[in-house]
Amino acid sequence: MESNIDINKKENKEKILSPGRIFWNKLKKNRTSKIGFFILLFMVLFTVVGPFLSPYKSDTMDYTSAYYGPCLQHLFGTDSLGRDIFTRMMYAGRISLSVGIFSVVVEVIVGGSIGIIAGFYGGVVDSILMRLVDIFLCIPVLPILITGGVIMSDLKISPSLRPIYLMFMIGLLSWAGLCRLVRGQILSIRGLEYMQATEALGLSDRRRMFKHMLPNVVHAIIVQSTLDVGGAIITESVLSFLGMGVVPPTPSWGQMIDVVSDMYNMQHYPWLWIIPGVFILLTVVSINLFGDGLREALDPKLTR
């Protein structure tokens, strides 16, 4: 008798696991996504906390110590103005990471809400919005972003504000893919019984969309937007490398690579540009690892 109760208890315990719990357990078991998470954590700490611990400032110049190679005093060496690259990497990373993250926030807000509205209302609204998505999916993003960079330079927008404009430009040009994804997800749950119940209850459209549908598609949004952060970081670095994104004196990882426009720098001072490049690579790799881990943990079909 007692043993029977015990078995029941055990079975109950297994059943009680909430979806969130299952998600955590799966994520914790995934070794590669853990690696990704810890690299990301390092990057965030490095850029957020790092500057407080560094003896140098982003723009501490010391002409007597220009072009030092990596050494104990300057872990990553110094640049033409004698600025410490290690410290500059921290400040640059703040910009690169925040542009990456916030442009995806813009993307999610725009793409997510348009996708929910299109999927929920269907019909004419849906076909108009989807044509808009088609338009945004077939325009080439890079020439437009570069044009945007030229416009910013023409309007003499201050270097400290350019990252903010960049977030919006990148976000507003890349929402279409996410929008299509969200719409598809919404379409698949629109006809389910619980949605019919919300209609029978007479809930307002807004409440049905954002209180009842959104939570059921949020997992897809999380996975896609995590992966998109990596893409946004690369886009920002490309633009800044071309001199069209973040411009000096504000540093970003891509902007630091711009030193190679002088061939001499490229050949003789490789630490100036290889280190920022490796940091971009590491960050994007870790985002992809972590994002894939999230996808596997959140996808109920993928249980192995």
Binding-site ranges for another protein (CB under 8 A): 131-132, 134-135, 137-140, 142-144, 146-148, 150-151, 154-155, 230, 234, 237-238, 241-242, 254, 257, 260, 263, 266-267, 270, 273-274, 277, 280-281, 284-285, 287-289
- Report in angstroms how near the CB of residue 182 gets to another protein at its nearest: 20
- As measured in angstroms, the least distance from the Cβ of 277 to another protein is 4
End-to-end distance of the chain based on CA atoms, in angstroms?
A: 35
Question: What are the backbone angles phi and psi of residue 78, rounded to the nearest 5°?
Answer: -135, 165
- Give the shortest CB-238-to-another protein separation in angstroms: 6
User: Between 84 and 236, whose beta carbon lies closer to another protein?
Assistant: 236
CA 9, 12, 17 angle in degrees (round to 5)?
A: 135
Give least dist CB 135 to another protein, A: 4
Specify the residue, 81 or 281, whose C-beta has the smaller distance to another protein: 281
Determine the longest span between alpha carbons in the chain, in angstroms: 84
Return d(Cα 11, Cα 186) in angstroms, integer: 34
Task: Measure the CA–CA gap between 145 and 119, rounded to whole angstroms.
Answer: 29
The answer to whether 68 and 77 are in contact (CB under 8 A) is yes
Q: How far is the CB of 112 from another protein (least distance, A)?
A: 21
Q: Which is nearer to another protein, 169 or 213 (CB)?
A: 169
Nearer to another protein (CB atom), residue 204 or residue 261: 261
Q: Which is nearer to another protein, 17 or 137 (CB)?
A: 137
Distance of closest approach, residue 236 Cβ to another protein, in angstroms = 10
Give the separation between CA 140 and CA 138, rounded to whole angstroms: 6
Minimal distance, residue 43 CB to another protein, in Å: 13
Residue 84 β-bridge partners: 78
Report the residue number, 35 or 75, with the smaller CB distance to another protein: 35
CA Rg, the chain, in Å? 24
Give CA–CA dist 246/253, Å, rounded: 9
Asked if 44 contacts 97 with a C-beta cutoff of 8 angstroms, the reply is: yes
In the chain, which residue ranges form alpha helices assigned H by DSSP?
A: 2-16, 19-29, 31-48, 50-53, 85-121, 123-138, 141-154, 162-173, 175-190, 193-200, 205-207, 214-241, 253-257, 263-268, 271-298
> Six-digit token pair at 169?
């430009």
Q: Which amino acid is at 105?
A: V
Minimum CB separation of residue 272 from another protein in Å reads: 11
CB closer to another protein out of 108 and 275: 275
Between 108 and 280, whose beta carbon lies closer to another protein? Answer: 280
